[in-house]
Amino acid sequence: MTPPPDGTLLAQHDALLIDLDGVVYVGHHAVPQAVQALRAARDSGVHTAYVTNNASRPPSTVAEHLRSFGLDVDDADVVTSAQAGARLIADRLPAGSTVLVVGGPGVPECVAACGLVPVTSAEPTPAAVLMGYGANVCWSDLAEASYAVQAGALFVATNGDLSFPTPRGLAPGNGTLAGAVAAATGVQPIFAGKPFAPLIEESIRRVNAVAPLMVGDRLDTDIEAADISGIPSLLVFTGVTDVRTLLLAPSYRRPTYVSADLRGLALLPSDLVVTSVSSGPDGLGPLRAATQQAWPRVDQGDPDPLRDIDVDALQSLVEQALER
Ligand SMILES: [Mg+2]
């Protein structure tokens, strides 16, 4: 084991909480530089938890997917929102309680692993409902969940993502499915996944982290989750967030650090922090400076917070940094 070079962002943390889609892979392809950076982290003894809002796949399936990219990942390194949701229920209800499960195979598996009993009917009334995404979820599943929630079952949803991208466009996510039950019953679910704290807490517990760093590509899930959980975050530009979205972010969706990709882990935190005045070894100094220009304006309700900021030029800097 080789400790991370002194002073790097990696060396400041004992654990990385890594988002998957847009950070480690996009579709079937590994994100360039990600595998090398994550192998270096593991080789230097920094724990890595792979944190996903996707509840439908069991952790072992996700781990297998990650191993296919050449990453050294144990099944226990994967933390899903289904696990966080099941843990949330297990923390509130006695062992052996019945939980009506809706969603892919990851949902009942995680419920059983927490000492709870997964069921698929609202008759007799289960103690809780755990709703997660599944491609085969149908009306009768939503109806059973609604009956159980009306009868007083604790209503938990793995995550609240309203949609997710598919090759044919946006498809309804678990937040939309849970929203149907909420609309029918008038009861809002407790969400386990990002941006809410349970998934982050479960991840921190999993790797025994003292000084974790959240790494993600989305402001409204990964970065907001870090903010809610009170831990620092690194935003990378290998996924969905562009420069404009970053510059318009409300205060609770602002990362601590920004980097084009995971190579930032090997740089100095003082160069990556959004308040940095350095030109940045990655060429993104002007982007960090622009956040310090735009964000106070956003906070003041300025109608044109991006005036005098050449957003396209900054976006080009990001593209250049990604290609370097
Ligand atoms: Mg992502």
* pTM for this prediction: 0.93
> Is the residue at 83 inside a domain?
no
Last residue of a domain, one of 191, 216, 247: 191
Distance 113 CA to ligand 1 centre (A): 26
Residue 165: its pLDDT value, please? 78
Judge if 302 and 213 occupy the same domain.
yes
Cα gap 141→121, rounded to integer Å? 8
Residue 167: its pLDDT value, please? 81
> Is the residue at 1 inside a domain?
no
CA neighbor of 319 nearest in space, from 271, 261, 255: 261
Judge if 202 and 186 occupy the same domain.
no
Task: Give every strand in the sheet of 257-259, ordered side by side.
Answer: 78-80, 47-52, 15-19, 212-216, 233-236, 257-259
Averages of pLDDT over each 10 residues, the chain, 324 residues: 82 97 90 96 95 91 95 96 97 98 94 97 98 95 98 97 86 96 98 97 96 97 97 96 98 98 97 93 97 98 98 98 94
> Is the residue at 70 inside a domain?
no
> Is the residue at 249 inside a domain?
yes
Cα gap 113→245, rounded to integer Å? 39
Which of these is catalytic: 6, 19, 161, 217? Answer: 19
Residue 13: its pLDDT value, please? 97
Judge if 178 and 201 occupy the same domain.
no
- 194: its two tokens: 């990002």
Distance 20 CA to ligand 1 centre (A): 6
Distance 26 CA to ligand 1 centre (A): 9
Contact by Cβ (8 Å): 46, 10: yes
Distance 104 CA to ligand 1 centre (A): 20
Judge if 149 and 254 occupy the same domain.
no
* Number of domains composing the chain: 2
Q: Clarify whether 282 is annotated catalytic.
A: no
The CATH number of residue 18's host domain is 3.40.50.1000
Distance 215 CA to ligand 1 centre (A): 9
* Containing structural domain, residue 17: 10-53+197-323
> Is the residue at 4 inside a domain?
no
What is the DSSP code string of 178-211?
HHHHHHHHS-PPEE-STTSHHHHHHHHHHTT-SS
Cα gap 265→40, rounded to integer Å? 10
> Is the residue at 21 inside a domain?
yes
> Is the residue at 3 inside a domain?
no
Distance 21 CA to ligand 1 centre (A): 4
- Please provide the distance, in angstroms rounded to a whole number, between the alpha carbons at the two ends of the chain: 28
Which of these is catalytic: 21, 77, 161, 217? Answer: 21
Cα gap 195→225, rounded to integer Å? 4
Name the residue with tokens 């229920």. Answer: 89
Judge if 201 and 309 occupy the same domain.
yes
**26-30, long-range: CB < 8 A, 24+ apart:** 26/238, 26/239, 30/69, 30/70
- Residues having C-beta closer than 5 Å to ion ligand 1: 19, 21-22, 217, 239
Distance 31 CA to ligand 1 centre (A): 11
Judge if 214 and 296 occupy the same domain.
yes
The residue type found at 131 is M
> Is the residue at 38 inside a domain?
yes
Residue 56: its pLDDT value, please? 86
Q: Clarify whether 19 is annotated catalytic.
A: yes
Neighbour tally for 113: CB within 10 Å: 15
